[in-house]
Structure 1
Amino acid sequence: MGGERKVYTLAQVSEHNNSKDCWLIIDGKVYNVTKFLDDHPGGDDVMLSSTGKDATDDFEDVGHSSSARAMLKDMYVGDIDPSTLPTKVKNTPPRQLQNNQDKSSSNFMVKMLQFLLPLIVLGIAVGIRFYNTESK
């Protein structure tokens, strides 16, 4: 790694996307993982599916050990030009209802139905039973 660091674009890294030549982008760094494909515990398909994009989230989601992270040092080939990566869209949850009256009134209606519906069904059942015994 001595001297000047090589900087790659996403397009350049994306060209290395097969089992004979596989590069990954993890934490802004570019790694040539070709020699490790056969030894990867998750199989080579896992790594090949992470080519051509920022694989940081894929790498972090698995929870790699410190020894796996240390192995990356030997595979380092350069850095990624961050301006060539697509910007991440922040996933924002849908806005919640702010009107507490609407929320509390709908909760009240649900509770009333939960209470009244069994009583109505019971009343109908008793009424049918009573009607059937009276008509005999």
Structure 2
Amino acid sequence: MGGEGKVFTLAEVSEHNSREDCWLIIDGKVYDVTKFLDDHPGGDEVLISATGKDATDDFEDVGHSTSARAMLDEYYVGNIDSSTIPTKKNYTPPKQPRYNQDKTPEFIIKLLQFLVPLIILGAAFGIRFYTKQSS
């Protein structure tokens, strides 16, 4: 493994983003995969598109084999200074008002949710009382 102990910044690694010079960051390590571009089963564009960022998720999402992971050793050039990689932020959707398709004011809905069951209950007792009086 060449380059042991060498530490690169994200800016330094990002400069290597072409077909003639392609470096990737995977699991905190920097790999020069330029010689592998022609042999990569997914094509060279997949690797080139993963430059300039931490490509660990891209690498893991594909589900590379054990032999593919072992091949990384021959392309190793150093480590990444993790303080130069921006932290990932979780997406938080913006707060939005509840959607009311028919635009009925909310207090009317709450009122009806209370009154309708009472009306049904009253109707049931009324029918029962009426049928007992009729018999």
Q: TM-score, normalised by structure 2?
A: 0.66
Larger % of helix: which?
1
Shift of 1:90: 2.5
Which residue is equivalent to 1:22? 22
User: Do 2:25 and 2:31's aligned partners in 1 also have CA atoms closer than 8 Å?
Assistant: yes
Which residue is equivalent to 1:61? 61
Distance 2:78 2:62 in 1: 23
Q: Matched residues, percent identical? A: 75
Q: What are the residue-to-residue correspondences of 1:1-136 with 2, within 5 Å?
A: 1=1, 5-91=5-91
User: Do 2:8 and 2:81's aligned partners in 1 also have CA atoms closer than 8 Å?
Assistant: yes
RMSD of Structure 2 on Structure 1 (CA): 2.8
Figure out how many residues of one structure are paired with residues of the other and give that number: 102
Distance 1:9 1:2 in 2: 18
Unaligned runs of at least 5 residues, structure 1 = 96-104, 110-136
Unaligned runs of at least 5 residues, structure 2 = 96-108, 114-135
Which structure has the larger Rg over C-alpha atoms?
2
Secondary structure of the structure 2 residue equivalent to 1:39: coil
Provide runs of 4+ in structure 1 moved above 6 Å: none
Q: TM-score, normalised by structure 1?
A: 0.66
Could you list the per-position Cα deviations for residues 80-127 of structure 1 after superposition, in whole angstroms to 9, with x for gaps in the alignment? 0000001111245789xxxxxxxxx9xxx8xxxxxxxxxxxxxxxxxx
